[in-house]
Amino acid sequence: MLRLKNVSKKFEELQAVSSVDLNLWERETIVLVGPSGCGKSTLIRLAIGIITPDEGEIYFKGELVTPENLMEIRRKIGYVIQEGGLFPHLTAIQNIRLVAEYLDWNPDKINTRIKDLTDLTHFPVDALERFPLQLSGGQRQRVSLMRALMLDPEVLLLDEPLGALDPMIRADLQEELKGIFKSLGKAVLLVTHDINEAGFFADEILLMKDGKVLQQGSIRELLDDPADDFVKKFINAQRNRI
């Protein structure tokens, strides 16, 4: 579905992403994990074409992404920005339907789609008229997810979608999200800094440091056969100490 081939990106002197290869297949969930600043969000932004790579190519369903086809391809990719990225001056429902309105969907189609999405994400319909600040953290995440799913994209990119939630809500939403991924059968690229969360979601994990992928594999492979000391340390630092 989505392929990053030998992709690199520099900001001034900082090598934010360095020669990364990634191949996301249909129905697959890949998780990018690594410490803050290792290049996870940059890689997601490269994948959706918000920033362009200095080197390497990006392919969507086998087609090279170029400035000419970028906008069309972007509509086939749902993106949940780190921190949610909702417009604070728009209500939940306005945020969700924004792009569909821009694309001139008819109002009945928009309403039917939003009803389906509130069912899917268990979002209370009466909260749709609230502004983001009037919603709980968990509800805001659901709105961000509904907005990303509105156009029924083929690929979903989620940048720390559960980052700011307290542990109990986070655990509930993890379960729900996994169920949603499964029922929708989308290709998913998810970012987290939490190795436990990575293990929970991932078919395949890419563990990054300083813009590079240090190890790629299942959580079992990372646990049983860490590529180097950093991988071992990163995993051990987050395991339960009780």
Please give the structure tokens belonging to residue 163. Answer: 């980052």
- Judged by CB under 6 A, which stretch of 9-17, 52-60, 84-92, 119-127 contacts ligand ADP? 9-17
Rule CB under 5 A: is residue 192 a binding residue for Mg ion? no
Considering the complex, state which of residue 18 and residue 82 has its C-beta at the smaller distance from Mg ion: 82
DSSP string, 33-102: E-STTSSHHHHHHHHTTSS--SEEEEEETTEEP-TTTHHHHHTTEEEEBTTB---TTS-HHHHHHHHHHH
The closest of 172, 147, 169, 171 to 158, measured between CA atoms, is: 147
**Contacted by 147, from Mg ion, ligand ADP, none: CB < 5 to 8 Å by type:** none
Nearest approach in angstroms of CB 177 to Mg ion is: 18
Spell out the alpha helix ranges (H) of 122-212: 137-149, 167-184, 195-201
Q: How far apart are CA 236 and CA 92, in angstroms?
A: 39
Which of these ranges, 30-38, 71-79, 84-92, 182-190, lies near ligand ADP under the rule CB under 6 A? 30-38
Sketch the per residue contact string, 17 through 46, with Mg ion: x for CB under 5 A, - otherwise: -----------------------xx-----
Nearer to ligand ADP, 11 or 25 (CB): 11
Contacts of 177 (CB under 8 A, 6+ apart): 145, 161, 162, 201
Q: Which helix (H) or strand (E) holds 20?
A: strand 14-24
Q: Pick the piece of the chain touching ligand ADP (CB under 6 A) from 32-40, 115-123, 163-171, 178-186.
A: 32-40
C-beta of 8 vs 82, nearer to Mg ion: 82
Phi, psi of 175 (to 5 degrees): -60, -45
- Is the CB of 39 or the CB of 132 nearer to ligand ADP? 39
Q: What string marks each residue from 38 to 77 as x (binds ligand ADP by CB under 6 A) or -?
A: xxxxx-----------------------------------
* Residue 161 partner contact from ligand ADP, Mg ion, none using kind-dependent CB cut-offs of 5 to 8 Å: none
Residues 6+ apart with CB under 8 A from 214: 34, 207, 208, 227, 228, 230, 231
Interface residues with Mg ion (CB under 5 A) are: 40-41, 82
Interface residues with ligand ADP (CB under 6 A) are: 11, 14, 16, 34, 36-42
